[in-house]
Chain A
């Protein structure tokens, strides 16, 4: 059997060999703590500075506004909890969309249990937040608002620029999770007045366990980790130097190659959309145009997600499932439910996300496997009468 084909790039991307190369020097040989004064520390510090500049450059920030974290989840948590907890004690209201990544959603739920009031902003059938509805939800006592730049499940790109402007005009701090968007959608914080913005390394062919949070100059945050005061006191703990170096390389490559990557991804994505559309009773979720270049999200009527994912896996194709089945029964994705998908359909979804390494041949092979798997699972499904 040939090597399995990886089509779950929204979960994590393969590590770019150039990224790996840039990390190796920090994993073996001379290693220093960036906080140390001696030469060992100095070279580690240089690596951090270089990476910080590259990340800042990707989003139009200045290096001093970038702090490194362990990944997207930590960045989201630090932003949401940190903004809320450092705000005026009179401000006990938070505005969050219904299509956030779990990192933002659960941080908001945490705030709820701390006594904050949370307004959840709904979305239309394509997963889009309505700026007017968003604006109406903001109040004088709103401590922060958060909307994902591009949703991680269905790939819908939100009108973040508009939302950020609305918040800036109203003096409300605004956080955007750009983990999926970075490298695919132009992001420029000098034009889009976000207060904080979350990034992650492993969605950009960088290492896992590394991420960054952009914090605009003058925005105050309460840390969630305390210690030696690294990263301007906002993220104590010795930095993951090798990870940060790799992240820096990955970000640099993403910036340089963005156009080519997006063009390539789009061609594969559209081929998958067209091919799967030929299978009966398969529909696309998420916005058709305002959509990440790598994302195909499908409802496959009459077929349960996990069985389809495992069936495709056995045929050599790795894709993502949209729900998790556990002892408590299935848990439908809150994002899909917010988009108005019936619960039953929300169990019948798969996410196919392409990457720069995928080829047209792989996509064609996948389409064949997909139609085989769907046909066979429908054959035994009591819920499909096609």
Chain B
């Protein structure tokens, strides 16, 4: 292929369309930086979800200037949804074909700037309301906002919904700054990748900046929990306050009915959560805090599929995400060193390791390093293995005991979110990888509920979720947070 520019590119360079900046824009986005040599800036005027005016400026090579011009011309006057659907391929088409080798970055750069302008528009609209969005709009149409992380599950979710006849808009959340980007000047790779995937399926894509919300509701809570002797579950916190609220906000703004994610679970009448077809991927344990009114508009298409089928679908449709590895750890701690993360966030001070009678057995560097049920790293030698049975942040004591000392038959649960009548609660799961055990529940005067367990359970840690299931184990009755021992 020739390395010189097509006449369309030169035409856009010499006679650029839609140049300039809108003074009172609804959104402004900039991508690239002067040090990397290209900067694109888009301003948009949006009214009633229509791109009434689109203007751009570019400092950069001819490819960037032409791509900016062609993109502005393509989306000007169209609906926001159509604008958010314009892909690199569409842009190449408008430029007469592929750009010379090595210039493809121009397409990514100008699209990123336009999408950041959309993002800015949503941020301005949302303000504080995004932080506490609640579902409301139910127009009954077959339309859905699908959250897209860039992984295989969310990509197939969006694809299945599209094939089922839904109008689908996809959304990726900016949650924290730890995401990898191959270029410091553009959005992180995950955002670019999710956008590419959405566009390849032919879907509009939006980005919402939730960093502040995520920091307040998830990351600070995560770090704070350890210093308070609780064992947090950040996925639960995100589902409780972030992901579903933000999707719902966007759905309301677009006049869309449903929201969807790539979780493995099912929504049944009630609404309540039910176990998915692929029990090995079951995520009902982390979905219990989704508020009822949000769950009622939620679709989990993957609840009907096995993971192997999901991968096969992605492969069959040629989605590059089919080959991405399974995401495992906490998303904002990519190296998995969550102790290190916590230590950076909160001050720690040394304290004593004591037995159940209060005798000092040794010392430790900080309570943040301990969680109930932990065996490793206690630093005290004993004839039988020792386990952490309690963390007392106030006195700085870490209480250790033998395995049988950790057995619990009664768990107090607070912050409950019931989907069904609490009387239906017959089983309870208190650890992410644990199995449900039989239980009886009772509301208590000191607050929350108490679950009396049918058999002793080891390593019940304050801060973890307790999720109640129906007798057949199939449906979630409700869930809550394991409380500290009232001592």
A interface residue numbers (CB < 8 A to B): 302-304, 306-307, 310-311, 314, 323, 325-327, 329-330, 332, 343-344, 347, 376-377, 379-384
Contact = CB atoms under 8 A, between A and B. Distances in A.
Given A310-B10, A329-B183, A381 B38 contact: no
B19 A382 contact: no
Interface stretch (B56-64, B303-311, B372-380, B438-446): B56-64
B58 A380 contact: yes
Chain B residues touching A, range = 20 to 34
Contact of A307 (B30, B39, B62): B62
A239 B287 CA distance: 78
B323 to A, nearest CB: 22
A307 B35 contact: no
Top 9 A-B residue pairs of the complex, sorted by shortest distance between their CB atoms: A330-B37, A306-B61, A326-B102, A382-B57, A325-B61, A327-B102, A344-B34, A382-B41, A383-B59
Contacts of B102: 325-327
Interface string B45-66: 0000000000011111111110
Contacts of A326: 102-103
15 contacts: A303-B59, A304-B38, A304-B59, A307-B61, A307-B65, A311-B62, A323-B37, A325-B37, A325-B60, A327-B103, A330-B37, A347-B34, A382-B59, A383-B59, A384-B59
Given A311-B14, A327-B102, A329-B105, A382 B61 contact: no
Given A310-B13, A325-B37, A325-B103, 10 more contacts: A303-B59, A311-B13, A314-B14, A325-B38, A325-B61, A325-B63, A380-B20, A380-B65, A382-B39, A384-B59
A135 B40 CA distance: 47
A381 to B, nearest CB: 4
A64 B265 CA distance: 86
Contacts of A382: 30, 39-41, 57-59
Given A310-B5, A314-B13, A304 B61 contact: yes
Contacts of A325: 37-38, 60-61, 63, 102-103
B16 interface: yes
A288 B195 CA distance: 50
**Interface of B (DSSP majority class):** mixed
A30 to B, nearest CB: 39
Interface in B54-106: 56-65, 101-105
Contacts of B347: none
A382 B36 CA distance: 14
A157 B35 CA distance: 29
Q: Which of B34, B101, B185 has the most CB of A within 10 A?
A: B34
A323 B102 CA distance: 14
Contact of A314 (B10, B20, B36, B101): B10
Nearest to B101: A327
A76 B13 CA distance: 38
Q: Which of A311, A314, A376 has the most CB of B within 10 A?
A: A314
Contacts of B37: 304, 323, 325, 329-330, 332, 347
Contacts of B13: 307, 310-311, 314
Contacts of A383: 34, 39, 59
Nearest to A344: B34
Contacts of B104: 327
A303 B62 CA distance: 11
Contacts of A329: 36-38, 105, 183, 185
Nearest to A373: B14
A175 to B, nearest CB: 33
Q: Which of A323, A329, A377 has the most CB of B within 10 A?
A: A329
B28 to A, nearest CB: 10
A323 B37 CA distance: 10
A384 B103 CA distance: 23
A350 to B, nearest CB: 13
B61 A381 contact: no
A330 B38 contact: yes
A361 B183 CA distance: 45
